[in-house]
Structure 1
């Protein structure tokens, strides 16, 4: 979708049973809105399977990984780190700086699931808020990626998709990937 360096999304924390749907949606949102991969905690196996299945059916490239080393992933990241938090700087105040840095450096976007330790705030190059109000981390990730890519991700195409959704004013139409050309 983009020619810039990699964008990876790290889901920091996952409570099985409680966070399954939200963690899955973090992965699906990362994929749909232009990230190259999502890194999930090792205990988020159901979310990994769902996101991998959607990627297989609706196209990639997109990678789903798991790790038991969330802190090490942040610490060892060879690029810029953005931590999405309601306590951070307003996105509209830092988005240009983040976008400029991303032109040359890979970007890790940290999306918390439970209480994020202070060390993550310190390790981040930016702690970014999509409003300074409580709301969904999926909404925050969506707005952040849209601002990062300046809307280009909305026109992303998935050339290897087995299934494609055809846009319609009413109803639902899903076809085999080779049945749809140029979005028609």
Structure 2
């Protein structure tokens, strides 16, 4: 989130055909809820393209990268690492500690897409559980980012947007930079 700690989300693993939608949603959630960039596996090209398209249309700043070695990203990270897993410590018990630790260093938030190697659990500074129940990694990322930013990400401003969603009690309104808006039902 601009003006605060740098937060990068790493999608660890991607099974083409099975994880396409979930990996896309990890990227979109990272963008919408305050992360500065997402690093996706190199075989998640469609997800990377979709997140880049949304960033182009609805604004940034937000960066999308791809890598052929998620393990190297974790191993070489210059800052603390939080790994989201249902086996981790409850977020409510570690969120303050994480916030303090990343005051000046960039935070890497790792979101698994398949079984992650045990070395990731060992390398992470925190293995964080958003409940200790099976659920969506997208939900875990959303709760983690909201708790980490203490809700500030919900009023984030976006620059260079071609489209802006106008909040309404009912209906839909999206204003394009080249027109006055499109009301939908």
SS at match of 1:3: coil
State the 4+ residue runs in structure 1 displaced beyond 6 angstroms: none
CA distance in 2, matches of 1:55, 1:116: 28
Match of residue 33 from structure 1:
33
Match of residue 24 from structure 2:
24
* Equivalent residue pairs, number: 180
1:53-92 matches, within 5 Å, as 53-92=53-92
CA distance in 2, matches of 1:8, 1:179: 34
Q: Find out whether 1:169 has 2:169 as its counterpart.
A: yes
The 1:97/1:178 distance shift into structure 2, 3 A limit, reads farther
Q: Unaligned stretches of 5+ in structure 1? A: none
Match of residue 118 from structure 1:
118
SS at match of 1:143: helix
Provide Cα deviations, 1:113-152, integer angstroms capped at 9, x if missing partner: 0001000000000000000000000000000000000000
Provide Cα deviations, 1:43-84, integer angstroms capped at 9, x if missing partner: 000000000000000000000000001100000000000000
SS at match of 2:158: coil
SS at match of 1:173: strand
Q: Unaligned stretches of 5+ in structure 2? A: 181-185
CA distance in 2, matches of 1:51, 1:119: 29
Report deviation, 1:159. Answer: 2.3
Contact kept? 1:4, 1:102, Cα under 8 Å? no
CA distance in 2, matches of 1:159, 1:39: 21
Contact kept? 1:58, 1:164, Cα under 8 Å? yes
